[in-house]
């Protein structure tokens, strides 16, 4: 490997390289371990793509495993959504789909083993008492009054916990480590609790459930995970992770490595807040396009390639940092720009009548589907006497440097003719409803044979063949100027986060499209077909992103 390649590799790659070179492992196996208590968001995409990417890079394997150890919050709906998200992002777990609940028997046996080794005991303290006994960062903890129970008594009490003889919270099983440890996570952490709950996978078979910090290293060890890649908040939990796999004597202990989370500025990712938005009907589900759940980004029109580009742009490091949502928008523009057709859609229509165009006739004009990608070919556009144009493309009294239609001004109709505005009609409120113009038949295709130039080009659709569609425009669901949260911790909602336009006029080629198909609407942005609200012949379009941004591509930093 050349020196330049070494410098380009992020710290996790360097650690894996070292482990393989020293013979700690002879292969790489990673996993993504979500808890099925909600939908995944953009931050999870980083973990998915990192874990899968490392397995791919080293010719290893990738597991998808649900950490379903808390039946109070978990649902099959979330399991299904997570599987769909991971698959959509391109992470292939092949036949390695697992559940923590698959290992409840091994976890129980592991707890019994710790009791027999004198490394775990049953406690009668309440949760509040355990917190009180645990001490603080400045003071060591105090020993649990039950810490010196005999192995035999602990085995009997733990069995009785499993048999359902105790109420929720009445007894817990604690690891016996060190109440004076400077790491509070090592001060005899709770590893099992009583919970009389029906589990989505195991039903009522169990009424005791392992805590995450005990279950997770066992799951990794059972599955043969070599590198357990997780976010920085688990760094202080790593000694406990290592303690569990060491005390349970797994022959090939996995290694936990932590990396920085990916934070997006001015977005809502907290499950509690999203759940409230859903329940109050402010959004129409966890996949509302104004959210940044992976399902919402997919519905909005983001692509796996754009999210991967974004994750790579943010980099992998140990340093916490926030990324601007504009960077994610930059990535989807870059991905779609050369790939999708550029179509004409009028979102706020007024009629344009060409007075000198022959009555009762129409013609076909040819237009490129994407001027940057000739392989997308061309299409036919019908053109006639009456068209639709954008309301903002005509002004009776324009300001300086306004180069679109106004009385006496000539512009180009995209891929069609030069036209000159002559007059307009208005309704009772003074709103322009019809613009009249004349055209120059010699300028077919958008160029004048005499070489004259025009400064303005506007798009249009033929009124005779256009169809009416619904188009939705989105802004941030929170008010960016006020910040995401107010002083009471409530969301500062943006009342203009959704604008629904129901009288848009679109060229006919856009009528029979499929869910998730994406297009560039000329001068309007990139749009996708909504999978939830579209019907056959009646598509609903979501704007993915506008065409321009002030975002400047930063230099990528690796750590």
pLDDT surpasses 90 at 428: yes
Structural domain span for residue 163: 3-259
Residue 500 lies in a domain: no
Whether 417 and 446 have beta carbons less than 8 Å apart is answered as: yes
Q: How far is CA 58 from CA 25, 139, 253, in A?
A: 12, 45, 19
| Residue where a domain stops, chosen among 242, 259, 276 | 259
Q: For 306-316, what is the mean pLDDT? A: 94
pLDDT surpasses 50 at 556: no
Q: Are residues 50 and 127 in the same domain?
A: yes
pLDDT in tens, 363-379: 999 999 999 999 999 99
| Residue where a domain stops, chosen among 317, 336, 355 | 336
pLDDT surpasses 60 at 557: no
Share of the chain above pLDDT 90, in %: 87
What is the rounded distance in angstroms from the CA atom of residue 285 to the CA atom of residue 296? 9
Share of the chain above pLDDT 70, in %: 97
**Which pLDDT does position 44 carry in this prediction?**
94
Q: Are residues 185 and 269 in the same domain?
A: no
Q: What is the CATH number of the domain that holds 151?
A: 3.40.50.620
* Average pLDDT of every residue of the chain: 94
Q: Are residues 44 and 153 in the same domain?
A: yes
Residue 108 lies in a domain: yes
SS3 sequence of 493-506: ECCCCEEEEEEEEE
Domain count, the chain: 3
Whether 193 and 158 have beta carbons less than 8 Å apart is answered as: no
**Which pLDDT does position 516 carry in this prediction?**
97
pLDDT surpasses 70 at 559: no
Q: Are residues 115 and 184 in the same domain?
A: yes
Q: Are residues 284 and 412 in the same domain?
A: no
Q: Are residues 88 and 218 in the same domain?
A: yes
pLDDT in tens, 206-246: 999 999 999 999 999 999 999 999 999 999 999 999 999 99
**Which pLDDT does position 29 carry in this prediction?**
98
Residue 552 lies in a domain: no
Q: Are residues 136 and 33 in the same domain?
A: yes
Residue 288 lies in a domain: yes
pLDDT surpasses 70 at 323: yes
pLDDT surpasses 70 at 33: yes
Q: Are residues 246 and 395 in the same domain?
A: no
Q: Are residues 78 and 172 in the same domain?
A: yes
Residue 126 lies in a domain: yes
**Which pLDDT does position 486 carry in this prediction?**
79
Residue 471 lies in a domain: no
**Which pLDDT does position 554 carry in this prediction?**
58
pLDDT in tens, 478-537: 988 888 877 777 889 999 999 999 999 999 999 999 999 999 999 999 999 999 999 999
Residue 516 lies in a domain: no
What is the rounded distance in angstroms from the CA atom of residue 73 to the CA atom of residue 117? 33
Q: What is the CATH number of the domain that holds 277?
A: 1.10.1160.10
Residue 363 lies in a domain: yes
| Residue where a domain stops, chosen among 336, 370, 388 | 336
Q: Are residues 248 and 309 in the same domain?
A: no
Q: Are residues 315 and 392 in the same domain?
A: no
Q: What is the CATH number of the domain that holds 432?
A: 2.40.240.10
- Read off φ and ψ for residue 117, nearest 5 degrees: -85, 0
Alpha helices in 187-292 (DSSP H): 212-223, 238-247, 271-279
pLDDT surpasses 80 at 2: no
pLDDT surpasses 80 at 553: no
Least confident of 1-5, 149-153, 461-465: 1-5
Which token pair is 444? 């077919």
Q: Are residues 41 and 180 in the same domain?
A: yes
């Amino acid at each position: 490997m050349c020196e330049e390649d070494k410098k380009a590799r992020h710290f996790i790659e360097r650690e894996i390289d070292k482990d393989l070179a020293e013979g700690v492992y002879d292969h790489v196996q990673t996993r993504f371990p979500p808890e099925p208590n909600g939908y995944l968001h953009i931050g999870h995409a980083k973990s998915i793509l990192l874990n899968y990417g490392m397995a791919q890079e080293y010719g290893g394997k990738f597991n998808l495993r649900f950490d379903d150890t808390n039946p109070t919050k978990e649902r099959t709906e979330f399991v299904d959504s997570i599987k769909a998200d991971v698959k959509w992002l391109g992470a292939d777990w092949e036949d390695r789909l697992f559940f923590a609940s698959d290992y409840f028997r091994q976890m129980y046996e592991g707890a019994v083993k710790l009791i027999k080794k004198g490394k775990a005991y049953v406690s009668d303290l309440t949760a509040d008492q355990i917190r009180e006994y645990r001490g603080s960062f400045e003071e060591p903890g105090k020993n649990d009054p039950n810490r010196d129970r005999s192995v035999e008594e602990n085995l009997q009490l733990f069995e009785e916990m499993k048999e359902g003889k105790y109420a929720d919270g009445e007894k817990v099983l604690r690891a016996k480590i060190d109440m004076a440890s400077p790491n509070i996570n090592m001060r005899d952490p709770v590893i099992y609790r009583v919970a009389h709950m029906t589990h989505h996978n195991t039903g009522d078979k169990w009424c005791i459930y392992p805590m995450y910090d005990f279950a997770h290293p066992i799951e990794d060890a059972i599955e043969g995970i070599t590198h357990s890649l997780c976010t920085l908040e688990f760094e202080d939990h790593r000694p406990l992770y290592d303690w569990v796999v060491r005390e349970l004597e797994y022959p090939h202990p996995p290694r936990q490595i932590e990396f920085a989370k990916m934070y997006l500025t001015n977005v809502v990712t907290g499950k509690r807040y999203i759940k409230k938005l859903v329940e109050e009907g402010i959004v129409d589900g966890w996949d509302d396009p104004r959210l940044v759940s992976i399902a919402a980004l997919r519905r909005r029109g983001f692509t796996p390639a754009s999210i991967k580009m974004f994750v790579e742009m943010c980099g992998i490091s140990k340093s916490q940092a926030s990324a601007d949502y504009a960077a994610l928008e930059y990535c989807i523009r870059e991905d779609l720009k050369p790939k999708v057709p550029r179509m004409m859609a009028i979102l706020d229509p007024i009629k344009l009548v060409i007075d000198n165009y022959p009555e009762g006739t129409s013609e076909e004009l040819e237009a490129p589907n994407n001027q940057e990608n000739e392989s997308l070919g061309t299409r036919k556009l019908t053109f006639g006497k009456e068209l639709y144009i954008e309301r903002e493309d005509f002004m009776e009294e324009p300001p300086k440097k306004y180069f679109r239609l106004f009385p006496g001004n000539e512009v180009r109709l995209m891929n069609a003719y030069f036209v000159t505005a002559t007059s307009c009609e208005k309704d009772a409120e003074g709103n322009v409803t019809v613009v009249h113009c004349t055209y120059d038949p010699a300028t077919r295709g958008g160029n004048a044979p005499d070489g004259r130039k025009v400064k303005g080009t506007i798009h249009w659709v033929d009124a005779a063949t256009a169809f009416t569609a619904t188009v939705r425009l989105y802004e941030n669901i929170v008010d960016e100027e006020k910040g995401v949260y107010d002083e009471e911790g409530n969301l500062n909602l943006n009342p203009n986060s959704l604008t629904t336009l129901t009288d848009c006029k679109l060229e006919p080629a856009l009528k029979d499209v499929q869910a998730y198909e994406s297009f560039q609407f000329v001068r309007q942005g990139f749009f996708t077909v909504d999978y939830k609200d579209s019907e056959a012949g009646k598509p609903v379009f979501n704007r993915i992103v506008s065409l321009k941004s002030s975002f400047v591509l930063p230099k990528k930093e690796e750590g």
